[in-house]
């Protein structure tokens, strides 16, 4: 019994030493998430630049970048490829982002529950973004529309839940909550009336704002992604 008692603190000490030797991946994963966002912005802007016949940010829908054919009936192969790469890559990095948020909110049972549901919504919406690229707007409109609306709905719910958490958490997290709620309000308006004259432009505002929000959370001191 005496020998067993001695082994317990020795084993605990070894575990602590091994934990200290483990590499800290916080910075690496943070950079991966930020790279995913950066390449999304870059590749979608390039897709718009090379869109056959020119891309109008105010009247063309975001998904038209991934269409098989452009509005002028020319093949849209290059832009669609960039669009697919951008959405697929950012989806993979978003998985790391949502997983990382789970560890930060444990002050209360309410925070833990909201974080768990927010994580679930965020994780569910991630593969749907790949579906948006896999099913082009012009050839598979109904399926494409389902993926778009499901992704927007789940992403919006995730932002709502985490915005509430940021408000509850305090510690100068309110700007993240405010930005998330403003973006959410625009997104809700877009989902209510997706065919409004301003919808194509607002869609881009919401899409890019969502990823700016992800980047802001990732860079915030408390929420360094791990």
Q: What is the pLDDT of residue 24?
A: 57
Residue 15 lies in a domain: yes
Residue 72 lies in a domain: yes
Give the Cα separation of 57 and 59 in Å (integer). 6
Residue 3 lies in a domain: no
Q: What is the pLDDT of residue 37?
A: 96
Q: What is the pLDDT of residue 168?
A: 84
What are 103's two structure tokens? 């560890």
Q: What is the pLDDT of residue 1?
A: 47
Q: What is the pLDDT of residue 222?
A: 63
The model carries a pTM of 0.84
What average pLDDT does range 35-52 have in this prediction?
97
Q: What is the pLDDT of residue 18?
A: 46
What are 185's two structure tokens? 């309000």
What average pLDDT does range 28-43 have in this prediction?
93
Q: What percent of the chain has pLDDT over 70?
A: 85
CA dihedral defined by 90, 92, 93, 99, rounded to 10 degrees? 140
Q: What is the DSSP letter of 102?
A: T
Question: How far is the CA of 180 from the CAs of 109, 138, 154, in angstroms?
Answer: 22, 31, 14
List pLDDT tens digits, range 149-194: 999 899 999 999 999 988 887 767 888 899 999 988 888 887 777 7
Q: What is the pLDDT of residue 192?
A: 76
What average pLDDT does range 118-144 have in this prediction?
93
Q: What is the pLDDT of residue 23?
A: 54
Give the Cα separation of 45 and 79 in Å (integer). 10
What average pLDDT does range 45-74 have in this prediction?
96
Residue 52 lies in a domain: yes
Give the Cα separation of 101 and 80 in Å (integer). 32
Residue 1 lies in a domain: no
Q: What percent of the chain has pLDDT over 90?
A: 59
DSSP 3-state of 75: strand
* Number of domains into which the chain is organized: 1
Residue 5 lies in a domain: no
Q: Which of 159, 164, 188, 184 is nearest to 174 (CA)?
A: 164
Q: What is the pLDDT of residue 4?
A: 46
List pLDDT tens digits, range 90-100: 999 999 999 88
Q: 8-12, 20-24, 127-131: which has the highest mean pLDDT? A: 127-131
DSSP 3-state of 11: helix
DSSP 3-state of 148: helix
Q: What is the pLDDT of residue 198?
A: 86
Residue 4 lies in a domain: no
Helix (H) or strand (E) holding 178: helix 174-192
Residue 112 structural domain: 11-223
Q: What is the pLDDT of residue 14?
A: 52
Give the Cα separation of 66 and 51 in Å (integer). 10
Contacts of 174 (CB under 8 A, 6+ apart): 166, 167
Contacts of 179 (CB under 8 A, 6+ apart): 209, 212, 213, 216
User: Would you tell me the crossing angle of helices 174-192 and 141-169 to the nearest 10 degrees?
Assistant: 150
Residue 2 lies in a domain: no
Give the Cα separation of 226 and 19 in Å (integer). 15
Sign of the alpha-carbon dihedral angle for 95, 97, 100, 105: negative
């Amino acid at each position: 019994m005496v020998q067993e008692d001695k082994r317990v603190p020795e084993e605990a000490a070894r575990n602590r030493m091994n934990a200290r030797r483990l590499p800290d991946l916080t910075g690496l994963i943070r950079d991966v998430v930020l790279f995913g966002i950066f390449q999304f912005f870059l590749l979608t802007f390039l897709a718009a630049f090379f869109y056959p016949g020119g891309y109008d940010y105010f009247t063309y829908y975001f998904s038209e970048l991934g269409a098989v054919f452009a509005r002028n009936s020319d093949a849209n192969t290059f832009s669609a490829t960039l669009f697919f790469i951008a959405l697929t890559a950012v989806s993979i990095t978003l998985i790391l982002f949502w997983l990382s948020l789970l560890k930060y909110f444990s002050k209360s049972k309410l925070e833990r529950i909201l974080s768990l549901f927010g994580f679930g919504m965020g994780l569910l919406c991630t593969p749907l973004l790949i579906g948006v690229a896999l099913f082009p707007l012009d050839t598979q409109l109904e399926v494409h529309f389902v993926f778009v609306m499901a992704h927007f709905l789940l992403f919006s719910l995730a932002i709502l839940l985490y915005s509430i958490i940021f408000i509850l958490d305090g510690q100068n997290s309110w700007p993240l909550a405010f930005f998330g709620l403003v973006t959410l309000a625009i997104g809700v308006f877009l989902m209510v009336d997706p065919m409004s004259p301003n919808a194509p432009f607002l869609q881009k505002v919401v899409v890019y704002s969502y990823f700016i929000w992800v980047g802001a959370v990732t860079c915030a001191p408390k929420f360094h992604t791990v």
